[in-house]
Amino acid sequence: MSEFKEFATKWGLVVDLDKCTGCGACMISCQVENNIAPVVEASNKLRSLNWMWIFEMTNGKAFPENDAAFLPRPCMQCGKPPCVSVCPVVATDKNEEGGIVSQIYPRCIGCRYCVGACPYHARYFNWFDPIWPEGMEKAITPHASTRPRGVVEKCTLCHHRWNYAKEKARQEGKDPSALPENAYVPACVEACPTGAMYFGDLKNPKHKVHELAKSPNAFRLLEKLGTNPQVYYVSAREWVRKQGDNQLPAKEKA
Amino acid sequence: MFADLDNELFPAGVTRCSLSKFLLWLAFIGLFFLWGLYAAYVILSNGLGMSNLDNYFGFGLWITFDLAVIALGAGAFFTGLIRYIIRIDELVKIINLTVIIGFICYSGAMLVLTLDIGQPLRAWFGYWHPNVHSMLTEVIFCITCYCIVLIIEYIPLILEQKQINSVPFLHHLAHNMHVIMPLFAGLGAFLSTFHQGSLGGMYGVMFGRPYAFREGFFIWPWTFFLFILSAVASGPAFTVLVCTFMEKLSGRKLVSFKIKSLMCKIAGSMLCIYMVFKILDTWAWANGFLPSVGMTFDQMFFEVIYGKWLMFVELILCGVVPAIMLITPAIRNTPALLYIAAGLDCIGIIVNRYVFTVQTLAMPVLPFDKWFTYAPNWTEIASSGMIVAYGFIVLSLSYRYLPVFPEEVKLNK
């Protein structure tokens, strides 16, 4: 069975849903940063590869009371991940300081049990071989390895950027385990034009997310299921907060 | 000349159809097999994108098929357990058939699984990098080990083929294997019980999926025990149905009705126990667990395709009804009613495996998500059909050349 994993550093994301316009810049930057291959036939959204996806929420009321919100959904990096304990070959783990749920592509056998276990649909399967249109392969970055067909992939909170940030800190003679605010940010956060996304160590009082996650307007998706995500959402609108967890009161915040 | 040679291979004292008729039959089945083989080639050469599975329905027809045939193949371990360990000797008259069906079901399931995983060449990683917390690891271990046990149980039957058995060494080998068979029956019962349970456990531990998640005992969710019970409740009934189908096809009596009735009595008794716990489990899930995660019973169902009718079919029409029919002697001893009840029993278990596989994934857990539906495409259907055809071929060859039914000669005098 899954256990709750606690770490001294917990990288977390806080998304202000009242600032998100649903523009999709986070999705695109994620695609580019992580070498996510374009899908040849992308009209079927259940087959596309998007580590970051934007859901549309609505209060269900008619005009003029109608209201909508856009919810960017990366991997929740759950404290108790439903996907990790089910993997038969330990191809995914939550065992590193920082609490990022890893995915080991060369070990994944492609059984898709983790895909089914994740209620957030944050895991994606490579249904075909990745093909980059001619010329586009030149844009492949050295940061993230490309994935073959038949394996599952997911958001890693741009783990490679963390490695670079730690390397830089070491070079500058600083402590790599106590990175300052914004020394490490994922591509989605960097690209957000409205500043709706905040990133940092949830355990570090010097990081903005530490306070934001404790805001009375903060909530996590499906808290009642006990997954304990490291991704928080903030909204001043009550219906948005309620919809995040099936209209139930949120449990204690981390 | 070939026909004469063929005759020499038949078990002693039985008659079989002509060689040409048999070859025609094999050719007919072979068409389905080849169609499935082509589908498998399409999948393996192009990728799983050729199926109708997607990121919402990571599991579909193949996993449903696997779970269903593994449950229906449970006749092998359960009958073996009763025959060799509990010593109900009458079951010796049908035990060979249960072993063959078990072997077909398990080897077939493994073939389907190699198609279903994205990286078939890494299938052995389950042994090399096992995650002891994963129910699927346990399934991988037990299914492969139990398949080997079934092969060991099948070998003595092959060695008893008239010509093979005329070789003294092989004759003695077969005899000695029979002597140690209780050991393998016990081993098979242990392995099979655990993986039948772990298949249920696979769903029960998915705490992110309220349709499937169940509380449980120690590390095992209730689905672990329910899957074991439902498998032993349907396996013997499926064996009886296969036997009867073979009788209709061959025009010969293979097993006395008394034995079929006994098998169904065992299945019916287990089905009664299963239904009590299954209904209790469903009630507790609907009234206890679902409200605790902010969901309602009605939210678990969608229109006709994933409607409540499926649950009533599973629990009432194909659960309570056959359970009552199979434990009522007057009904059980009427052949037509016995077969209907056995059929309903098997359908109920197939529906159970289907809803746990597909409806679990179809149900939107995120409050702002919506229901999606799944239907398999031709590659999935054809490759599953290939396994059925493979089963027909193995069963046809076994029936024609091996002494599967000890009572056949006596019953057809």
**Is A15 inside a domain boundary?**
yes
What's the average model confidence in pLDDT over B76-80? Answer: 84
**Is A80 inside a domain boundary?**
yes
What's the average model confidence in pLDDT over B329-346? Answer: 96
**Is A83 inside a domain boundary?**
yes
Cβ-nearest to A117 among B129, B209, B368: B209
Query: Domain residues for A109?
Result: 11-243
Whether the complex's predicted ipTM surpasses the cut of 0.85: yes
Token pair recorded at residue A74: 């990366």
What is the chain B residue with the closest CA to A1?
B133
Cβ-nearest to B59 among A57, A108, A116: A116
* pLDDT of chain A, 254 residues: tens digit per residue: 567 778 999 999 999 999 999 999 999 999 999 999 888 888 888 999 999 999 999 998 999 999 999 999 999 999 999 999 999 999 999 999 999 999 999 999 999 999 999 999 999 999 999 999 999 989 899 989 999 999 999 999 999 999 999 999 999 999 999 999 999 999 999 999 999 999 999 999 999 999 999 999 999 999 889 999 999 999 999 999 988 876 554 444 43
Q: pLDDT band at B198, cuts 50/70/90?
A: very high
The answer to whether A125 contacts B118, with C-beta atoms less than 8 Å apart, is yes
Smallest CA–CA distance, residue A211 to chain B, in Å, is: 26
Interface probe for A, chosen from B45, B54, B55 (most Cβ of A below 10 Å), is B55
Q: pLDDT band at B297, cuts 50/70/90?
A: very high
The helix (H) or strand (E) run that includes residue A88 is none
Cβ-nearest to A55 among B134, B366, B372: B366
What is the chain B residue with the closest CA to A50?
B55
DSSP 8-state class, residue A37: P
Q: Which domains, and CATH codes, for chain B?
A: 17-411 (1.20.1630.10)
Smallest CA–CA distance, residue A179 to chain B, in Å, is: 33
Token pair recorded at residue B67: 């779970």
Residue B238 burial (10 A CB sphere; 0-12, 13-18, 19+) = buried
Q: Which of A220-234, B6-20, B77-91 has the lowest mean pLDDT?
A: B77-91
Interface of B with A in 145-174 (CB under 8 A): none
Q: What is the pLDDT of residue A244?
A: 84
**Is A147 inside a domain boundary?**
yes
Contact by Cβ (8 Å): B394, B100 = yes
Residue from B227, B265, B266, B246 nearest B81 by CA: B266
Residue from B362, B269, B355, B264 nearest B312 by CA: B355
Domain count, chain A: 1
Beta strands in B114-246 (DSSP E): 216-217, 220-221
Number of other CB atoms surrounding residue A23 within 10 Å: 16
Residue B412 has pLDDT above 90, yes or no: no
Q: What is the model's pTM?
A: 0.94
Q: What is the pLDDT of residue A250?
A: 45
**Is A252 inside a domain boundary?**
no
Q: What CATH number is associated with residue A135?
A: 3.30.70.20
Q: What are the tens digits of pLDDT across the range B223-272?
A: 999 999 999 999 999 999 999 999 999 999 999 999 999 999 999 999 99
Q: State whether the Cα torsion B384-B114-B185-B271 is positive or negative.
A: negative
What's the average model confidence in pLDDT over B344-366? Answer: 96
What's the average model confidence in pLDDT over B165-174? Answer: 93
**Is A254 inside a domain boundary?**
no
Q: What is the pLDDT of residue B381?
A: 97
**Is A250 inside a domain boundary?**
no
C-alpha dihedral (B261, B267, B269, B271), degrees to nearest 10: -140
- B132 touching A, CB under 8 A? no
Q: pLDDT band at B294, cuts 50/70/90?
A: confident
- Cis omega (within 30 of 0) on the bond before B376? no
Q: In terms of DSSP bridges, do strands A11-16 and A231-234 run parallel, antiparallel, or are they unpaired?
A: parallel
Spell out a b/e string for B396-413, using b for 16 or more CB atoms within 10 Å of the CB, else e.
bebbbbbbbbbebeeeee
**Is A251 inside a domain boundary?**
no
- B137 touching A, CB under 8 A? yes
Please give the distance of CA B114 from its chain centroid, rounded to a whole number: 17
C-alpha dihedral (B223, B227, B230, B231), degrees to nearest 10: 180
Cβ-nearest to A112 among B58, B123, B130: B58
